[in-house]
Amino acid sequence: MGAFLFRRFALTLVTLLGITLMTFLVMRIAPGGLTAGTTDLSARVSAHEQRKKFAALYDLDKPWYVQYGRWLKRLSRLDFGRSFKDDRPVLEKISERLPNTLLLNVLSLGLVFFVAVPLGILAAVKQNTVWDRAVSALVFIGFSAPTFWLALMLMMLFGVTLGWLPLSGLHALNADELSATSSVLDMARHLVLPVLISAFAGLAGLSRFVRNGLLEVVRQDYVRTARAKGLPESRVIFRHALRNALIPVVTLLGLSLPDLIGGGFIFETIFAFPGMGRLGFDAVMARDFPVVMGVGTIAAFLTLAGNLLADVTYALVDPRIRLAGKHR
């Protein structure tokens, strides 16, 4: 286990460096140079001052590897620079948005898990029946529907036609006047549509994954043994088969993180949801480089952390993985 963890962490470190290098290079190839778009961004700071500050901050007079090295050094102190737009520290801007995005993602992951796993089981147990086909159809639609369009449709149905749910934001306009309970309720109402949309695409992938995993496991000898000794089918499925079929789900949940965060860039924008995705999108539109780089790096870090966590958990629950390397 120790060797496995060491290898895994070393790889993660390399990837981490790569992420920063890539973010840096993408920003460097921006046409017109980094200072080109900075003039009209801030009324509070003059263009000249802005440019000087920027040149000093990113060492633009030095070769690129010096620039990268210094940027990396600042990153290691969690210094992402200041926004061009309002001159506030990037980290501060991100950390006030991050909890909202995490809340959204945790809720939708939870929803995905609790809906997709039963659906997958249903489809596998009733393989080749109407139930299986219905789940299949749902899976295909989930893979094929543009999430932003589904968001529009739900907004039209629940927001405009029925008027049950608010269309955008996270709080009502009069949120400050509300009592504690009704303010939580208000937030919950604002969260319904974003969570539903964010969960929908993940639902398709996971339920198919569970179905195929379970079908695979059901063919194994130990499941046949369980059946042969006369256990009721429900016990065979839920006690013996499901446990092993669910192990890979851990990985899938980890791997779906970038999609969840990435999907956020669209529907957080549609719902005017104050999350990290919308911050990133607005920053890209305003050419607010420090914020773009900050959001990009942090989103990639989060994904990496998710993958690492998934891998380690997987190795913990499945000895085959952590022992596999030893034969090489």
Partner 1 sequence: MWRFYGRRFLANRLALAGASVLLFLGLAAVGAPVLSRTDPNQQRLTERLMPPSVHHLLGTDDLGRDVAARMLHGGRVSLRVGLVAVGISVIIGTWVGVTAGFFGGWVDGLLMRVVDIMLCFPTLFLILMVIAFLDPSLWTVMTVIGMTSWPGLARLVRGETLSLRERDFVWAARGLGLSAPRIVLVHLLPNLVVPILVSATLGVGSAILTESALSFLGLGVQPPMASWGNILTSGKDYLHVAWWLSVFPGVAILVTVLALNLLGEGLRDVLDPRS
Residues that bind partner 1 (CB under 8 A): 11, 14-15, 18-19, 22-23, 26-27, 29-32, 140-141, 143-146, 148-150, 152-153, 155-156, 160, 258-259, 261-266, 269-270, 277, 280-281, 284-285, 287, 292, 295-296, 299-300, 303-304, 307
Residue (102 or 175) nearer to partner 1, CB:
102
Q: How far is the CB of 181 from partner 1 (least distance, A)?
A: 31
**CA angle, 117 as apex, 112 and 122 as ends, to 5°?**
130
Give me the least distance between CB of 66 and partner 1, in Å please: 22
H or E stretch including 96? helix 90-125
Q: How many other CB atoms sit within 10 Å of the CB of residue 219?
A: 9
Q: Answer for the pair 265, 281: CB distance below 8 angstroms, yes or no.
A: yes
- Which H or E element spans position 250? helix 242-255
Nearest to 36 by CA among 287, 225, 265: 287
Q: Minimum CB separation from partner 1 for residue 288, in Å?
A: 10
Alpha-carbon distance 288 to 280, whole Å?
Answer: 9
**CA nearest 248: which of 140, 302, 320?**
320
Give the number of other Cβ atoms within 10 Å of residue 298's Cβ.
21
| 198 vs 246, beta carbon nearer partner 1 | 198
C-beta closer to partner 1: residue 210 or 242: 210
Nearest to partner 1 of 279, 315 (CB atom): 279
Of the two residues 207 and 236, which places its CB atom closer to partner 1 in the complex? 207
Is the separation of the CB atoms in 88 and 288 below 8 Å?
no
The least distance separating partner 1 from the CB of residue 261, rounded to whole angstroms, comes to 5
Radius of gyration over alpha carbons of the chain, in Å?
24
Question: Nearer to partner 1 by C-beta: 185 or 272?
Answer: 272
Minimum distance, C-beta of residue 199 to partner 1, in the bound complex (Å): 17
**Cβ proximity of 311 and 65 under 8 Å:** no
Q: How many Cβ atoms are within 10 Å of 149's Cβ, its own excluded? A: 11
Least distance from C-beta 272 to partner 1, angstroms? 12
The CA distance from 271 to 170, in Å, is: 9
d(CA 305, CA 301): 6
CB of 293 to partner 1, least distance (A): 9
For partner 1, the closer of residues 242 and 295 by Cβ is 295
Distance in Å, CB of 226 to partner 1, minimum: 27
Nearer to partner 1, 237 or 275 (CB): 275
Which regions of the chain does DSSP assign to beta strands (E)?
none
